[in-house]
Amino acid sequence: MSKQFRVAVVGATGAVGEVMLSILAERNFPVGELVALASERSAGGKVKFGHRDVVVQDLASFDPAGVDIALFSAGGSISKEFAPKFAAAGAVVIDNSSAFRYDDDVPLVVSEVNPEMVKERPRGIIANPNCSTMQLLVALAPIHRKAGIERLNIATYQSVSGTGRKALEELGKQTAGLLNFNPVESQVYPVQIAFNVIPHGGEFTDNGYTTEEMKLVWETRKILGDDAIRVNATVVRVPVFYGHSEVVNIETRDKLSATDARKLLETSPGIEVVDEHEPGGYPTPVTHASGNDAVYVGRIRDDLSHPHGLNLWIVADNIRKGAALNAVQIAELVAME
Give the residues lining the site for ligand NAP (CB under 6 A).
11-17, 38-39, 41-42, 59, 73-76, 78, 96-97, 131, 161-162, 164-165, 318-319, 322-323
* 18, containing H or E segment: helix 15-26
Is residue 321 within 8 A of residue 295, CB to CB? The reply is: yes
Is residue 70 within 8 A of residue 91, CB to CB? The reply is: yes
d(CA 303, CA 312): 10
- The catalytic residues are 131, 244
Bridge partners for 125 per DSSP: 93
- Nearest Cα neighbor of 138 from 104, 112, 176 is 112
Tell me the residue number closest to ligand NAP, measured at CB.
14
Q: How far is the CB of 318 from ligand NAP (least distance, A)?
A: 4
d(CA 96, CA 209): 22
Report which residue type is found at 141.
A
Is residue 57 within 8 A of residue 8, CB to CB? The reply is: no
- Nearest Cα neighbor of 319 from 198, 111, 163, 102 is 163
Contacts of the segment 296-304: beta carbons below 8 A, 24+ positions apart? 296/271, 296/272, 297/139, 297/265, 297/271, 297/272, 297/273, 298/273, 298/274, 299/275, 300/258, 300/261, 300/262, 300/265, 300/273, 300/275, 301/258, 302/257, 302/258, 303/249, 303/251
- Provide the 8-state DSSP code for 321: I
- Our CB check for ligand NAP shows the closer of 56 and 274 to be 56
Cβ of 315: how many Cβ atoms within 10 Å?
29
